[in-house]
Structure 1
Amino acid sequence: MSKLIPGNHKHLTIEDRRYIEQSLDESKSFREISKYLCKDPSTISDEVFKNRVANTWNKGSFNNPHNFCVHRFRCKKVNACRKLIICDTKCRSCSICNLVCADYEKEQCRRIHKAPYVCNGCNTPRNKCPISTKYDYNAKAAQRQYMQRLSSSREGIALTKKELHSLDSVVRPLIAQGQSPYMIIANHPELGISVNTLYNYINQGVLLTRNIDLKRKVKFKPRKVHSTQIKNREVFIGRTYADFKTSHADELEFVEMDTVKSAQGSSKCILTFYFPDTQLLYAHLLHRCTPGAVKAVFDKLQNALGDAYDFAMVFPIILTDRGVEFGDPDSLETSPEGIVRTGIYYCDPMRSNQKAGIENVHTMLRMILPKKTVFTDLTQWDVRKCYNHINNATRKNLNGSTPYHEAFKMFDEEVLKALQLQYIAPDDVVLSPKLLKH
């Protein structure tokens, strides 16, 4: 990268490569391309040369589909192969001329061996070009080759065989003595690696020590990796569980929010709300577990309650996990009219105990919808039936009362109607899959 060009010192993106391809088709120079992308011309040159794609054409120019010799126009050789005694055909018109002639010299193209190194922007039609191997620059193919090189460059380990042997000579006897990797790294700082790196080396099999030699590792199952977490970390700024505590939100009324996923075979899920003061459960069926579907439920609840201010009275603060369906907090906190209707806070990763209330009430929901249940045929009517039966089940920590009665004392009748809460007699409460058998 040239210090004279104010570039961003970052790798080329797919948009940059598309611009390079378009500029090459327009016969622009590397210097012109580099000025627009704020890169050094050598960067563009290396990019084109490394990522060009070879296209081999098994035919030459028009009326000369086989001869690629640079001397073919003035060559007068006859019977160069010496297979026929009498042959008055000129060798330049024979299909095996390039294979048997001692003076054969392949024709080269200046565009390929010098800038721009590709056939993009060439005025010669492809069917009239005598060059057998042509090179093109394609943005998608260049991006694919770049990603492959980036991935392969980070594979393996950054140690030589001698360094690996030296490391193994220290680690192997100590592991045989029953020491843990932490003890080895703590007592031998000269190794210059961390405990996690040593575990990775053992797991990859680059050392003679194996996982079976470790005391406890073979007893542990592989840790589950959640691929449905929010990737944009900026949404957590000011919305972490620590912020929830420091803002004295525990002294106010708040609501816990989560989702119950379907088994494989359906994209549906159930969005759940739990009110800790009354232990009330409200749920809504989502046809897709996406931020847009969650926002649609919020807007629907706001319309049912009246306006954003009524929504804020029922849902003042919401505490949830870091699922990808809650990855757009701005749209949830703000109504379509631009009025702030609630506040979203996120629990710490792998800390379901920070919203233990909704996790506990999910066990009652799973009594009706056991795990491995596919939600394909599930409707909002079924979901409403589930949470109404759960809310009318008596609770010991409510002194024999039900969440429905406690909510009836706290909320107005309009709120209960908006949430579609109904009374069910105690003897009619069903908390088993039989509830949804039509």
Structure 2
Amino acid sequence: MSKYIPGNQKHLTLNDRIYIENELSKGATFKDIAAFLCKDPTTISKEVKSRRLSDWYHKGTFYNAKNFCVHRYHCKKTNACGKIMLCGIKCTSCPTCNQTCKDFEKERCCRLDKAPYVCNGCPMKINHCTIAHKYRYDARFADRKYRELLSSSRAGINMTRHQLHQKDQIVTPLIAQGQSPYQILINHPELDMSVRSMYTYIDKGLFTARNVDLKRQAKFKPRKCHKTQIKDREVFTNRTYADFCSLELNSYVQMDTVKSSRDSQKTLLTMIFTEEKLFLAFLINRCTKGTVRAVFDRLEKRMGTYEFTSVFENILTDRGFEFGNPEELETGITGIQRSSIYYCDPMRSGQKGTIEQAHTMLRMILPKGTSFEFLTQWDVNLIVNHINSTPRESLDGKTPYDAALETLGEDVLKAFQLKPVSPDEVNLTPKLIRFKK
């Protein structure tokens, strides 16, 4: 029935509470107050009883020397505590009677045990009342108490220590392996929390893992401009980013290179399929036009010219000098055009942002400054397998390997030498590859 009362679903305001205080002082009933405020009488009753203010020891009187026993008016006991041998003082005037006397019964007021539960509106003056516990309803105190409860009810976490410990045993080891919160929650739905909640728990120190263990929490350093771009501008004819956008492609391949430290000339040629988010990496001894062409030729031999043409039909890359001979990359070993190369605008790496995001995952395993001198293609394939076994939010929780298996097929993945990795074994830390620097 209370749901049919207009305005009953709204919280009480300070003005409402002031009205309640004034009406209680006049002796009004909860039903009358509720009718005026368009609330249920139970709402007013709960409000008064839960937010009443206690006046303990409000004022001592001559009849109540802090003794709250109902028998104090006719009690003639002396030395009930037994501490003083020659004590002639009656226990009725001694406050220790409340704790030591076996016949002590606390004086209670029936007005506080039932409606209105407070001393507001009581005909007896409060200075003459001998009840120990006095309760009164104060509108401003009740409103402040309501505001504090409104704030504290939304603070903290809604789980026990045992439940938090169980979640921590799953989350912390996987974060130590370099897995992201999204990846952990996709593989462990029993955690029953959102990605934002996991970041919040880690930030507040509720888990053993800390913010420093999250790779993406760290700020990126400003990017440096490499003076190794293509100088011959004629190669960009009909291959600019504007020409690429005119094709309106949904699925294509982005290509880039990842350099080693200065003491090594080895480089990683990286590719990624934008729709499946499938990441590829190939180790080349030097970052030159010939080594990039050699990777293309090797893939074409494994896959076949027709399959290579359908998979690598359109490629978007930057203006690095290693991609400065597009005609050789576009022409296959049989002389047939196998792909089309397009270039991003200068200093616009965001135009191929998919592969740049994949590089951040690669740098979790191979941090900047790491030498590739002792890397092998087998090591690179292992890294790529762990990256492709990481669930992506853009794929609705699927891994790039599973998405590519549906679209590209198993034969293509075998030609790329890719294998899936079980969810709990995915490791995106330098511990995955151990070699001498």
* TM bucket, shorter chain: 0.3 to 0.5
Which is higher, the Rg of structure 1 or of structure 2? 2
RCO comparison, higher one (Cα < 8 Å, 6+): 2
State TM-score, norm by structure 2: 0.48
